[in-house]
Structure 1
């Protein structure tokens, strides 16, 4: 029955500013209304809705104001510099400094985190070509070294 995720939504304080931010990430504006905009994540497959309003004051929690975009591993490795060129700074997460992607071996995923202009949590994430392992979180470079040994 379920084939994938079609849409996710985030609250924003200034639709024009947020529209510029998400266009800068490479998302294509699909449709815009007075206080709402929808961006294609994958054209005709999935989109992100931005809603200007008071809800942006809702305190952050991963279950409320978080979106993770799937990326390729090679792009994830370049994400820090790519974001920096756009004036976006990666943020610390799970106690790891924002120097490179973080790996969660128990999920076999790597990711980086940053915020949009309203403090919504944005993540770039990729599935690693590995089986989940019971190991603590680590930097991608450390995970790759372990795999080479």
Structure 2
């Protein structure tokens, strides 16, 4: 499902709980010790590093606690079920409820389909798939279902 990311670092409150969560997403542990774990996203090329710390509750800018994993559009069509099958709850994003996702975020000249969820420490995670846009008009955010009916 997940196709790419170079690196990301996140604070976590329970390394063992977080390891199990990220394994559910299909990521492989590259190495770990008692306070940190590296997960391969693309073996030998990109990774996610989790640091166990008691500072998780400290406020962070949201972008420091957000990771977007690239997926293929075909996988995005089944992303909701894929996450739910793994016991992962989709969260409301940009005013779209979990039932309304995946959603489309139009940014001319590109658009993306996305679905949002949290890890066990509340870090914001996203599955995102690029979409082709054949028009130059400004579009509104919408569900992927509505996007598919327009294209």
TM-score if structure 1 supplies the norm length? 0.90
Paired with 1:123 and 1:133, the residues of 2 have a C-alpha distance of 26
Q: 1:82 is paired with a residue of what secondary structure?
A: helix
Aligned residue in 2 for 1:13:
13
How far is the alpha carbon of 1:55 from its aligned partner?
Answer: 2.8
Equivalent position SS for 1:105: strand
Helix, strand or coil for the counterpart of 1:50?
strand
- Residue 6 of structure 1 deviates from its aligned partner by 2.9
Indicate whether 1:135 and 2:136 are aligned: no
Decide whether the 8 Å contact of 1:105 with 1:133 is kept in 2: no
The equivalent of 2:83 in structure 1 is 83
Compared with structure 1, are the counterparts of its residues 18 and 5 closer, same or farther at alpha carbon in structure 2 (3 Å cutoff)?
A: closer
Structure 1 segment 34-49 matched on structure 2, within 5 A: 34-49=34-49
> For 2:69 and 2:28, how far apart are their aligned partners in 1?
14
The C-alpha deviation readout for 1:36-60, integer Å capped at 9, x for no partner, is: 0000111111000000002311235
Deviation at 1:144, TM superposition (A): 1.1
Within 5 A, what are the aligned runs for 1:91-130?
91-99=91-99, 100-106=101-107, 107-130=110-133
Deviations 1:108-138, CA, capped at 9 Å, x for gaps? 1110000000100010001112257521111
Divergent runs of 4+, >6 A: none
Query: 8 Å contact 1:13–1:52 — kept in the other structure?
Result: yes
Going from structure 1 to structure 2, the CA distance change for 1:102 and 1:142 (only over 3 Å counts) comes to: same
Deviations 1:4-26 (A, max 9, x none): 96311011000000000001100
Q: Which ranges of structure 1 fall in alignment gaps of 5 or more residues?
A: none
With normalisation by structure 2, the TM-score equals: 0.89
Q: 1:75 to 1:12 in 2, by over 3 A?
A: same
Contact 2:104 2:144 in 1 (8 A): yes
Distance 2:137 2:112 in 1: 11
